[in-house]
Amino acid sequence: MIVSRSPQQPTDVVVEVAATESAQVDAAVARARAARRGWAQAAAPRAAALHAAADLVATRAEQLEDLVVREVGKPRTEARGEVARTAAILRYYAEQVFDPVGAVHEPSTSGLLLTQRRPHGVAGLITPWNFPLAIPLWKAAPALAFGNAVVLKPAPEATACALAIAEILDECLPPGVFTVVPGEAQTGQALVECADVVSFTGSVAAGRAVAAAAGARGVPVQAEMGGQNPSIVLPDADVQTAAAHVTAAAMGYAGQKCTATKRVIVVGDPEPLREAFVAAVEALAVGDPGSTQTVVGPVVTEQARARVLQAAESARAAGGRLLTGAAPVPDDGWYVGPTVVEGVPADHELACDEVFGPICLLQQARDVDDAVAMANGVRFGLAAGLYTNDLDAVLSLTGRLDAGLVKVNAPTSGVDFYLPFGGEKASSIGGREQGKAAHDFYTSVHTVTIARP
Ligand code: NAD
């Protein structure tokens, strides 16, 4: 049984559904495979269906926003933004159905030589809970736009949001073209065993297992995974701006974004930034995610809270200093106060691993080269930030940071859906997603030679 509970009030069961058995996953994929031929046939009906879905998202915006707040504890203002983004993603890909699907070339002798992109068939999508509408849709919308059918295995913690998406798409798409299969890892594994293309977002361990299983079957796979995202602050940076940005990027939605800032690396005197950062964190509104004022709500589960508290405790035991983190939080729900730590050894988990919650490490670098070495000295490479007004530093450092997203004078968190998204090193496997990159992933290119008889 899948039981999804509200993080701010764990006695509130948002939805309870049976987990999908392997045989049911096979059946959903078979139904999708049968439905996808008609779906792939003509572009205009696909565009119309995706626009209709965007319209329904907009019509149901308030309900969806409430559901995101309730099911995954996302603060209301961010939840509202996610709903708007979801509609925008649907519209963006609705129009892309009209993009060229190939190119005509000069034949080597006579006739016609051309390339043609075709859908793979059934896309198996496996998603996390932290963007419970946007991530499923930033995968499903392009998969559908380019003529695939979709079977989605959502995170158990975001089951109700996924079912709300299914309700909307059911009203707009032909039967069988989009199906949600609620479940845990086993349901995801079953999906990887029968889909024609696999897109995963989640943790490194699960992503590697998914990529290995899909790779063994020879089907295209992409896995977007965790981050341990640094923000480097150079001595000339505007301290107040940098502090405001790293606070938002580290603590917004309780640090539960793959692009959240996990380390702030200061070059030069750390004191002004330390003071401004701690003050900004202590000024954050922590509490009920239903309020539009709240910036930091609960983390998603009791285990997630325990993991943050354990990391803070182990930092202390390793000689680190807690700069802030003792703020009172509501008793009910999985709240943990936004925490900033410094002075831990270089191999401490807060310096190397992803702790998915509102905890951030402040580090000092001797000089710019040391800062780059520290930023790059982790196995992840999703996002990296840089604060400076020195154009030479910007030009030289943006090319030296091992990250799929490099943000200058901007928070590491935040993604533009119309640009390619993905990381380096352990953060990603396979091609980028979103933007125009999605067309490449959800189709394969065929070269067609038409010779004169
Ligand atoms: P998770 O890895 O626990 O679960 C992700 C999904 O994979 C869930 O649907 C889960 O049921 C499924 N799953 C788990 N094991 C599986 C297996 N062996 N085979 C098939 N499916 C399996 O991650 P989570 O806790 O839901 O999400 C948090 C993680 O996601 C963090 O590490 C975060 O950084 C990452 N994330 C990455 C991005 C990105 O785009 N890079 C975006 C959001 C979240």
- Which among 25, 74, 125, 126 is the best mutation to test ligand 1's pocket, defined by most ligand atoms within 8 Å of the CB? 126
Query: Tens digits of per-residue pLDDT, 432-447?
Result: 999 999 999 999 999 9
The average pLDDT across 425-429 equals 98
**Best residue among 17, 25, 127, 130 to mutate for probing ligand 1, ranked by most atoms within 8 Å of CB:** 130
* Residue nearest atom 13 of ligand 1, based on CA coordinates: 185
Residue 331 has pLDDT above 90, yes or no: no
pLDDT digits (tens, 9 = 90+) for 289-325: 999 999 999 999 999 999 999 999 999 999 999 999 9
Our answer on whether the CB atom of 206 is closer than 6 Å to any ligand 1 atom is yes
What residues act catalytically? Answer: 224, 258
**Nearest 5 degrees, angle CA 127-CA 439-CA 398?**
80
Distance 9 CA to ligand 1 centre (A): 23
Give the tokens for residue 355: 């702790």
Q: pLDDT tier at 190 (50, 70, 90 boundaries)? A: very high
Beta strands of 20-148 (E only): which ranges?
A: 104-105, 112-119, 122-126
pTM: 0.98
Determine the atom of ligand 1 nearest the C-alpha atom of 428.
Answer: 41
For residue 149, what pLDDT band results from cuts at 50, 70 and 90?
very high
pLDDT of residue 452: 86
Output the CA 359–ligand 1 centroid distance in Å: 20
Nearest alpha carbon, ligand 1 atom 12: 185
| pLDDT at residue 112 in the model | 95
pLDDT, position 326: 77
Mean of pLDDT values over 360-386:
98
pLDDT band at 417 (very low <50, low <70, confident <90, very high): very high
pLDDT 10s digits, 79-117: 999 999 999 999 999 999 999 999 999 998 889 999 999
User: Is 29 a pocket residue for ligand 1 (Cβ < 6 Å)?
Assistant: no
SS3 440: helix
The 10s digit of each residue's pLDDT in 194-248 is 999 999 999 999 999 999 999 999 999 999 999 999 999 999 999 999 999 999 9
Please tell me the residue having the least CA distance from ligand 1 atom 14.
185
pLDDT at 327 over 90: no
Q: Which of the listed residues 225, 261, 307, 434 should we mutate to test ligand 1's pocket, taking the one with most ligand atoms within 8 A of CB?
A: 225
Average pLDDT over residues 69-83: 98
According to DSSP H, which parts of 118-269 are helical? 134-145, 159-172, 185-192, 204-217, 239-251
Quick check: CB of 185 below 6 Å from ligand 1? yes
Q: Give the residue-averaged pLDDT of 267-294.
A: 98
Question: pLDDT-based confidence at 453, cuts 50/70/90?
Answer: confident
Mean pLDDT computed over every residue of the chain: 97
Region 32-40: mean pLDDT is 97
Distance 204 CA to ligand 1 centre (A): 8
The residue whose C-alpha atom lies closest to atom 21 belonging to ligand 1 is 188
Write out the DSSP string of 374-402. Answer: HHHSSSEESEEEEE-S-HHHHHHHHTTS-
Provide Rg for the chain, Cα atoms.
23
Pocket lining: 225 vs ligand 1, CB cutoff 6 Å: yes
- Measured distance CA(204)–CA(214) in Å, rounded: 15
Please name the helix (run of DSSP H) or strand (run of DSSP E) that holds residue 57, with its range, or none.
helix 43-59
3-state secondary structure of 44: helix
Q: Is the C-beta atom of 229 inside 6 A of ligand 1?
A: no
CA 155 to centroid of ligand 1, rounded, Å? 7
Q: What percent of the chain has pLDDT over 70?
A: 100
Q: Cβ(289) to ligand 1 under 6 A? A: no
From ligand 1's centre to the CA of 191, what distance in Å?
15
